[in-house]
Amino acid sequence: MANLIEKAKNYTMNRRSFLGLTATAVAGGAAALTLPGCGLTKVAAPNNSLTTKEGKWVTVACWHNCGGRCLNKAYVVDGVVLRQKTDDTHSDSPDYPQQRGCLRGRSQRKQVFAVDRIKYPMKRKNWAPGGGRKELRGQDEWVRISWDEALSIVTSEMKRIRGKYGNNSLLVTGGPEISSIMSLAGGFTNHWGTTSWGTWRYGPAKFGMEEGFFETSINDRLDLRNSQLIVLWGANPAWSAMGSPTYNYWQAKNAGAKFIIVDPIYTDTAETLGDEWIPIRPATDHAMFLGMAHTLLKEDAPSTNPLIDWDFLHRCTVGFDADHMPQGADSKENLKDYILGTYDSIPKTAEWASEICGVDPERIKSLAREIAQTKRVALFTGWAPARTHNTDSWPQMFMAFGAMTGHMGESGRMTGVSCHYNSGNGGPVLVTPGPSGLPAVKNPVQDTLNDAEMWEAIVKGKFTAGYQKVKDINIQMIYHGYNAVLQTREAMTTGIEAHRKVEFVVSVGHFLTTNATYSDLVLPATTEWEKEGGFLTGNREILIFYTKATEPLHEAKDDVWIATEIGKRLGVDTAKAFPFGLKQQLFNQLAGAKVMKEDGSGMEPLVSITASDIAAWGVQGKPQQGRITLQEFQDKGIYQVPRQVGDKLGSIAYEDFRKDPAAHPLKTASGKLEIHCQALADLIHGNGWTEIKPIPSYNKVTEGYEDTFKDWQGKVKGDYPLQVIFPHYLRRSHSIFDNVRWLREAWPNPVYLSSKDAQERGLKSGDTVLITSRYGKTLRIAQVSERLLPGVVALPHGAWVEMDEKAGVDKAGADNILTGPVATGQGTSGWNSCIVQVEKWTGTALTADVTWKQRIIF
């Protein structure tokens, strides 16, 4: 991996060569996926009878949660996909880019038509009502059963368990279809958490900055070209934000913007875009910002060296200094005095910050000056720095620094979250589908478990329900819908224990995932390629309309059918949840689709629908006039709003607010950005785990850098001296695609170690290493690299667990084996606050997991 740094110096990569790395994945016959540093994966030629028949290009779903959701086309002959391609619906240009897929989307057929699909309903051999031999979950054999038997088992166990323990003993982890039916049947215990967002999820609404997913706080992609300096904190769009974000950043770079990347890893984004990489320890960004803010306060001189935008602070914020506090607040609780150490006698200097974050104090100071002295700056962060325990004040500090420097609400100036489908392209959506028309069904059960303590709550029978409020809970059934909760939530070791404790576990899915592995019953579900169709969006300018590529494979059933059949057996009126079919739902979304008018004045219908269209679909509806015909939308599979510089569709976040805060107040108690925010402190207090101050004071991260020491003052390392982070990885979208062998060969899923840490432990690339935290152990093959800050280990997120039960060790590098049930603040899932030890494994060495036996049951 380190060699790529040298290669990058001599390699100019344009958009076509970059995306061309994955282009061979779309070819038919004996196509091969080729990527740098890996061999070819040969694919057997298709049946000759199919290659001689004429097929049809169909827009298919690329539906996984990567933030891209690009255009994916499949060439279908008799229900078999022979080839794939991506967007060729128009010529590519910076203003009007094609929506091109990545290697994951281009390998989608290797997932849909995989030999390891769950083909039939299955039950555990040693299952019996009440659980049977529950300790064999995860190890037992599987027995094929009929759908009738499977549905009978599910409903009889639901009835038995709710009759004995009550409806709140039934935990449903995902799936709107089964959730609606279970709500009609008396309800269920739900779960909640911050998942991807970290501490950006709930807090920012209190202090006035949008969290980057439902709402954005950054300008649109065309205005990004007006920025002179773009600083990315903990964001790696080249790996974690598919679609056009990296291309949009390139346009800003081509327009003259300088890029600075602040990250523990020299990422592919840093290699591609960065003019400078500043390595920083994980979960210490808050300290660095306090050090930068101290620099500005000490060096600012409004007449000779203006570094702070006092006009913006005074007009648009509350709580920065003693003279601009919210009504009723203690004037001493202002951020300025906290940074200067006026009352606690601890100035938050660059030197103070450097001890925590590892960045040289002079670089902290110079970066602060560069941001303050540059006219047009984009300050961006991903969610990753906030996926840490006890960092609920970090987003508020990020906002406060943006306010100090005034980089908000003007062209080329912005501060906010830049990730997922809003990465590098903020603003309200320009095209959107309509609602399905299905009624909302309220869950009568109020109990809900936080993700960070969900498994522990099942094991111990208690959960936190608020400040000084602990409630009893007795979960005895787990129903896993569409997601991978056991795999993707913290404390998997405890999660496995929880799954072996309850009386019944059922999973609906496509593969023998971690959820399914530890279940009693597995129900095969259709993929999006086997459904009527649906809609996807990967940025504010596009709407993808995908349709069915093939009939349901094997005995797979769609989620609505499964939920409805369960509902019938439970005796509920399923029409209250599903009063009409899937085709009507799809048509309702088409008829309700809206697109922004060219003058930006409002939304109008997207799709023209005729009476003959309605008759052909066999649905209820009314003719309407829109921008494109229904047939055109279906044939192209995408509508993309044309953009050009100077159009009326751009977006400058907070522009009206900056000009006149009184006339355009924010949705905060004061109507302003709240650097002192009592509502945020009250939110954290009310959740019942931790406490914060109303200002963004520094809080030590739970299981962060400081906790790698047993003696912080003496700098004596403890039993877990390394910080491990879990970056998103191109082999997977979270945990999905991990079983695709093409991707396993291309991206082998090592653990990345710095050269210094490897040398100290006598390790080299290719060694099998044991990674140990206080919560679990996992094995991986080491990849030694100069790309990591010493003291930091990078284990890619999402590998499917492969437990060696005798050794008590996972062999696959499943990240959540290492995390624990730590709930703080907003109930934050703190994946990037975990500490470990790494050592050479003395047992049998791992082989590359592309060689591992696939999970084929029948």
What CATH number does residue 829 fall under?
Answer: 2.40.40.20
CB-based contacts of 355, cutoff 8 Å, min separation 6: none
CA–CA gap between residue 531 and residue 541 (Å, rounded): 25
Helix (H) or strand (E) holding 838: strand 835-840
Give yes or no: residues 396 and 498 share one domain. Answer: no
The answer to whether the beta carbons of residues 295 and 366 sit under 8 Å apart is no
d(CA 730, CA 615) in angstroms, rounded, equals: 44
Cα separation, 231 vs 366, whole angstroms: 14
Cβ-contact 265, 232 below 8 angstroms: no
Examine the domain organization and report whether 190 and 155 are in the same domain: yes
- Tokens for 28, please give them: 């038919």
**Residue 63 CA, distance from chain mean position:** 13
Residues 480 and 589 in one domain: yes
pLDDT given for residue 66 in this prediction: 87
Asked whether residue 806 is assigned to any structural domain, the reply reads yes
Span 290-314, average pLDDT: 97
| Domain match, 842 and 780 both | yes
Query: How many C-beta neighbours within 10 Å does residue 770 have?
Result: 18
> Quick one: 14 exposed, middle or buried, by C-beta within 10 A (0-12, 13-18, 19+)?
exposed
Which CATH number is 267's domain given?
Answer: 3.40.228.10
Within-domain flag for 56: no
- Phi and psi at 101, nearest 5°, equal -80, 160
Query: Which amino acid is residue 585, in one-letter code?
Result: Q
- Cα–Cα distance measured from residue 719 to residue 737, given in angstroms and rounded to the nearest whole number: 34
Whichever domain contains 481, its CATH number is 3.40.50.740
**Cα–Cα distance for residue pair 701/716, rounded to 1 Å:** 18
Percent of the chain with pLDDT over 70: 94
824 in any annotated domain: yes
Segments of 129-174 assigned E as strands:
142-144, 170-172
Q: What confidence tens digit (pLDDT) does each residue in 830-840 have?
A: 999 999 999 99
Q: Is residue 303 located within the same domain as residue 420?
A: yes
- The token duo for 778 is 């996992």
Q: What one-letter code names the amino acid at 333?
A: E
Q: Exposed, middle or buried, 206 (CB in 10 Å: 0-12/13-18/19+)?
A: buried
Cα separation, 819 vs 491, in Å, equals: 5
Residue 69: the pLDDT is: 85
Strand segments (E) across 98-165: 122-124, 142-144
DSSP class per residue in 319-363: SSSTTSPPTT--TT--HHHHHHTTTTS----HHHHHHHH---HHH
What tokens were used for 112? 């849909």
Residues 263 and 323 in one domain: yes
Geometric angle at alpha carbon 425, from 421 and 429, rounded to 5°: 70
What is the pLDDT confidence band of residue 447, given thresholds at 50, 70 and 90?
A: very high
H or E stretch at 837: strand 835-840
End-of-domain residue from the set 546, 573, 607? 607
Q: What angle do CA 335, 338, 341 make, to 5 degrees?
A: 150
Check whether 12 has a pLDDT greater than 50: no
pLDDT digits (tens, 9 = 90+) for 681-696: 999 999 999 999 999 9
Strand, coil or helix: 72: strand
Q: What are phi and psi of 431, to 5 degrees?
A: -150, 135
Instruction: Please name the helix (run of DSSP H) or strand (run of DSSP E) that holds residue 16, with its range, or none.
Output: helix 15-20
Tokens of 149: 């038997």
Q: Which residue has the higher pLDDT, 20 or 70?
A: 70
pLDDT over 90 for what percent of the chain?
Answer: 91
Q: What is the mean pLDDT of residues 53-63?
A: 94
For residue 670, pLDDT beyond 80 = yes
pLDDT at residue 641 in the model: 98
Domain boundary among 547, 574, 607: 607
- Provide the pLDDT for residue 532: 94
Give pLDDT, residue 214. 87
| List of long-range contacts for 365-371, beta carbons under 8 Å, 24+ apart | 365/291, 365/292, 365/295, 367/231, 367/260, 367/278, 367/292, 368/291, 368/292, 368/293, 368/295, 368/296, 368/307, 369/295, 369/296, 369/299, 369/307, 370/229, 371/229, 371/231, 371/292, 371/405, 371/407
Q: Supply the pLDDT for residue 20.
A: 34
Q: Say if 635 falls within a structural domain.
A: no
SS (H, E, C) 406-467: CCCCECCEEEEECCHHHCCCCCCCCEECCCCCCCCCCCCCCCEEEHHHHHHHHHHCEEEEEC
Which range, of 15-19, 166-170, 537-541, averages the lowest pLDDT? 15-19
Judge contact between 1 and 785, C-beta under 8 A.
Answer: yes
Residue written as tokens 């016959």? 29
d(CA 37, CA 22): 13
Rounded Cα distance between 576 and 212, Å, is: 34
Strands 477-480 and 469-472: unpaired
Backbone angles phi, psi at 419, to 5 degrees: -160, 175
463 lies in the same domain as 396: no
Q: CA separation (Å) from 249 to 15, 98, 415, 828, 842? A: 12, 15, 16, 30, 45
Contact 836, 722 (CB under 8 A): yes
Letter string b/e over residues 403-415, b meaning 16 or more CB atoms within 10 A of that residue's CB? bbbbbbbbebbbb
pLDDT confidence of residue 48: 63
Are 489 and 829 in contact by the 8 Å Cβ rule? The answer is: yes
- Segments forming the whole domain that contains residue 752: 705-851
* Residue recorded with tokens 């049809």: 56
- Are residue 474 and residue 583 in the same domain, yes or no? yes
> Are 137 and 283 contained in the same domain?
no
User: Does some domain include residue 21?
Assistant: no
8 A C-beta contact, residue 680 and residue 396? yes
Would 172 be classed as within a structural domain?
yes
Task: Looking at the structure, tell me whether residues 242 and 164 fall in a common domain.
Answer: no
Round to whole Å and give the CA distance between 224 and 247: 12
In a domain, 568, yes or no: yes
Reference 545, options 67, 137, 171, 62; nearest CA is 62
How many domains are there within the chain?
3
**pLDDT tens digits for range 135-157:** 999 999 999 999 999 999 999 99
81 strand-pairing partners: 76
In DSSP notation, 515-557 reads HHHT-SEEEEB--GGGSSEEEE-SSTTEEEEEE--SPPPTT-B
pLDDT of 510 strictly over 70: yes
User: What is the residue whose two structure tokens read 């690329």?
Assistant: 62
Q: What are residue 800's phi and psi, to 5 degrees? A: -75, 125
> Are both 160 and 239 inside the same structural domain?
no
Q: What's the mean pLDDT in 401-417?
A: 98
pTM, entire model: 0.93
Question: What DSSP character marks residue 176?
Answer: H
Same domain? For 326 and 279 the reply is: yes
Q: Is 857 domain-assigned? A: no
Are 81 and 113 a contacting pair, CB within 8 Å? yes
DSSP bridge partners of 246: none
Q: State in Å, rounded, how far the first CA of the chain is from the last one.
A: 39
Helix (H) or strand (E) holding 761: none
Share the mean pLDDT of the chain.
93
Judge whether residue 841 has pLDDT over 60. yes
Q: Residue 33's pLDDT is what?
A: 26
Average pLDDT of the segment spanning 36-45: 34
For 803-826, b/e burial (b = at least 16 CB within 10 A) is beeeeebbbbbbbbbbbbbbbbbb
* 122: region left, alpha or beta (phi > 0 left; psi from -120 to 50 alpha): beta
